[in-house]
Structure 1
Amino acid sequence: MSLIGSVAKSYKEVNLVARIFTGVVIGAIIGFLVIKFPDSGFIAGFSSFIMIFGDLFVAALKAVAPILVFILITTSFIVKDIGDAKGLKLVIVLYIVATLIASTIGVLASFIFPTTLILSGVEAATNSTPAGLSDVIKTLLFNILSNPFDAIAKGNYMGILAWAVAIGLALKISKQGTKDIFNDLSDAITKIVQVVIQFAPFGIMGLVAASVATAGVDALLSYLRLILVLVGAMAFVALVTNPIIVGIVTKKNPYPLLFTTLKESGIYAFFTRSSAANIPVNLNLCKKLGISDGLYSITIPLGATINMTGAAVVIAILALSAAQTLGIEVSFGSALLLCFFSALGACGAGGIAGGSLMLIPLATSLFGISNDIAMQVIGVGFIVGVIQDSVETAINSSSDVLFTAAAHEATK
């Protein structure tokens, strides 16, 4: 094996969370060195070189995100086969209701604890922000009716979403060969995203270095506040709203089941940071809980795709944080629309580490926020993702079993 191959293999063997954390630390140190030694030509040149990694990472996200959203959502409509297992419809309803409630909690958390981000180009972006709900709806309708190729090329996520749903529904009755092609395309684009994510530590190092060099300690404090708001909102969903839903359905104390799912599914998902990778763990737990295999064999893989309560919280909070950073006044009607699109975007999130972040532009586009700004928000998401993504995945994956078990109990 060549030296480059050996280095690449050793790099991949290190946990992604550890690599991202290392990138955050190194980036912060470089940023502080720029502040400490402003007249050093060597430090200025070196930091400029490192910051290029951040720009390249944002550019890669900008390139892959539109086609990712289109392929994932189109494929989900084409290939998802909803069977007739007892309790299946109830599980799907629970998935949808819980995700909508979670997105609402995310919106409320952002209003109660407003958070601004360190972004570049904010002054230019604020010149084109929408004035109110009527402007949002007008922009939304025109974006939906955009040419599909133009929508993908320009990162028009409303247009991408509309065409993805339309094509997905139109091809629902297509032959199996067509469905296999879209499945393969989905797998292929997911692999490309995974490659981009492998370079996230370098991109994050550059982004953090640029943020700290520009804003100093304020940049790190903004990240800490964002993490606290995100984790706090997700904890509320996991420990309050989800148990309330389960309690209403089963008419029993939901917490014994909740703690079982968090312990035997959530912990694994916390470290794997992938709902898809946690599917075997969830299937085994469902069998252990005595749930009908005809039910969980469908709902667990399905939940790894559409039951994204944690992702809904993240998308809503980061989208509103971007709006608050740009000084956009978000009306009540716009907030309601955001709840819906955050939930819809969460359902389209890939079952991979950082998958929900790629759907953030879908939500930010409601406020006329440019694609450039949206990609920077994704970059911020990766920075806080050292903690956020682990908590998000633990909640997402463990609730797949939670709601499946609740439906099984309610339909016995």
Structure 2
Amino acid sequence: MLTLHKQWNKLSLVKRIIIGLIVGIILALVAPEAAKPITIFGSLFVGALKGIAPILVFFLVSSAISQHKKGHETNMTSVIGLYLLGTFLAALVAVIVSFIFPVTLTLGAGVEDVAAPGGVVEVLKALLLNVVDNPVKALFNANYIGILAWALMLGMTLKNAAASTKLMMVNVSDALTEMVRIVINFAPLGIMGLVFDAIATSGIGALLSYGKLLAVLIGCMLFIALVVNPIIVYVYIRSNPYPLVFRCLRESGITAFFTRSSAANIPVNMALCEELGLDKDTYSVSIPLGATINMAGAAVTISVLSLAAVNTLGISVDFGTAFILSILATISACGASGVAGGSLLLIPLAVSLFGIPNDVAMQVVGVGFIIGVLQDSFETALNSSTDVLFTATAEFAKRRKEETAASVNELA
């Protein structure tokens, strides 16, 4: 048994996760009732990640800011620019694909009572209120906008604190990071439980009637991940982007796919950034921020489902209006985490651009929940893996410029 345990630990985490995934699928297909208790592993894994992530982010950010020395530059401006560019391009691609492959929906009734934001002003208001949320409440509710705001403030006020106080902050953040590593080691069991639950509960057949819609949604997200993002990365780092792209998808995207939570995947992304040798001052802020505003997958979902509603109702839309939808989807996607229900509940806001009433819009939201098993998994995988991708891209681009400048100075 001890030998087996040693052999298991020698495998990379990704290989162990794939084994857990295969076991979960087999059990769901062969013995769905007998193996039902294993769903607890998925709940425990996601619960542990969600539990540790808020306090980890709070101490990592406040510690990084308090340790920051004057003159030491971070890449936050570049990272935020990449986040916004990636989200906008995702929305634009989704709009173009929806024009090329128009999708219609079969709308029913019974979802009109779901609450949704009334407009862009309401979304922005919710975001601003989250900034000044009670810090204890922000930690309890995993409100990452509030957590970031208070952590930044605490870090800045601790800049002039005693060295022993700063050391304590570092020690706490290091201890929390180690706790996260322990939790992540249980990812294979957690993902086994999650994939078993998804297949045993919803089944594959329930998704077949929405095949074309899923094909457009997933196709857009794969195109963003494998074509658009690599082009952006290449423009910045001027070298083959795919090794970095595939590593982010493999080590961040896989866990995000099954946990279906950008917040729960924050510790995974932090660990990957550390493995890539990135600047902790940057990634300790950019990763939790990315879980809030870097929402390419959400932009795709909002755009595709909004235009599907438009096509279903026979509304004529010119490309100029659709372009405005891309901008609206970008803004809405950045606010998705501040609204209960995520990206799906921002669809009524987007379709209001075309004069579609809320009761019809909420039926589209209902369709979104039906296909959510796959849609939300791909969306989260794209969102979360891109957080690391763009953080690394900004830093590698900075290093390239510094190396070029050094070479020029040597020649001079």
Give the TM-score of the pair, scaled to structure 1: 0.61
Structure 2 equivalent of residue 340 of structure 1: 327
Q: Is the 8 A contact 1:262 1:394 kept in 2?
A: yes
The one-letter amino acid paired with 2:354 is F
In structure 1, what residue type is equivalent to 2:372? Answer: G
Query: Structure 1 residues 277 and 155 mapped into 2: Cα distance closer, same or farther (>3 Å)?
Result: closer
Question: Where do 1:298-377 residues align within 5 Å?
Answer: 298-350=285-337, 355-377=342-364
Within the candidate set 268, 283, 290, 1:296 is matched to 283
Call closer, same or farther: CA 1:163–1:186 in 2, change over 3 Å. farther
Across the aligned residues of Structure 1 and Structure 2, the Cα RMSD in angstroms comes to 3.7
How has the CA–CA distance of structure 1 residues 93 and 118 changed in structure 2, closer, same or farther, with 3 Å as cutoff?
same
Residue 234 of structure 2: which of 235, 241, 247 is its match?
247
Q: Which amino acid aligns with 1:392?
A: E
Q: Would you say the 8 A contact 1:354–1:382 is kept in 2?
A: no
Is the 2:82–2:390 contact (alpha carbons within 8 Å) kept by the matching residues of 1?
yes
Aligned amino acid, residue 367 of structure 2 = V
Deviation at 1:276, TM superposition (A): 0.5
In structure 2, the CA distance between the partners of 1:261 and 1:329, relative to structure 1 (3 Å rule), is same
Query: For 1:237 and 1:167, how far apart are their aligned partners in 2?
Result: 28
Percent identity at matched positions?
51
Q: 2:40 aligns with which of 13, 16, 25?
A: 13
- Pick closer, same or farther for the CA change 1:270–1:355 going to 2, 3 Å: same
Is it true that 1:157 corresponds to 2:118 in the alignment? yes
Q: Is the 8 A contact 2:117 2:345 kept in 1?
A: no
Q: 1:404 aligns with which of 391, 395, 405?
A: 391
Q: 1:14 to 1:334 in 2, by over 3 A?
A: farther
CA distance in 1, matches of 2:142, 2:226: 33
Q: Give the conservation status (yes or no) of the 8 Å contact 1:157–1:365.
A: no
Which string of whole-angstrom CA distances, capped at 9 and with x for unpartnered residues, describes residues 285-316 of structure 1? 00000000000000000000111111111110
Separation in structure 1 between the aligned mates of residue 337 and residue 351 of structure 2, nearest angstrom: 18
Deviation at 1:333, TM superposition (A): 2.2
**Cα distance per residue 1:37-88 (max 9 Å; x no partner):** xxxxxxxxxxxxxxxxxxxxxxxxxxxxxxxxxxxxxxxxxxx999895111
Specify every segment of 5 or more residues in structure 1 that has no aligned partner in the other structure, as ranges. Answer: 1-8, 17-79, 122-152, 189-200, 209-216
1:183 equivalenced with 2:163 (yes/no): no
Q: What's the secondary structure of 1:223's corresponding residue?
A: helix
Aligned in 2, Cα 1:332/1:355: closer, same or farther, shift over 3 Å? same
- How many residues align? The count is 282
Contact 1:354 1:385 in 2 (8 A): no
Contact 2:225 2:382 in 1 (8 A): yes
Deviation at 1:183, TM superposition (A): 3.3
Counterpart Cα distance in 2 of 1:351 and 1:262? 25
Contact 1:299 1:400 in 2 (8 A): yes
Structure 1 pair 345/167, CA: closer, same or farther in 2 (3 Å)? closer
- Matched with 2:221 is 234
Any conservation in 2 of the 1:342–1:363 contact (CA below 8 Å)? Answer: yes
The structural deviation recorded for 1:360 is: 1.3
- Larger CA deviation: 376-385 vs 267-276: 376-385
Write the letter of the residue equivalent to 2:80: I
Which residue is equivalent to 1:194?
none
5+ long unaligned stretches in structure 2: 1-35, 44-60, 66-71, 144-197, 400-412
Residues 171/251 of structure 1: CA separation in 2 closer, same or farther (3 Å cut): same
Instruction: Choose the corresponding residue for 2:370, options 379, 383, 389.
Output: 383
Residue 104 of structure 1 aligns with which residue?
Answer: 92
Query: Residues 126 and 339 of structure 2 are in contact (CA less than 8 Å); yes or no, is this contact kept in structure 1?
Result: no
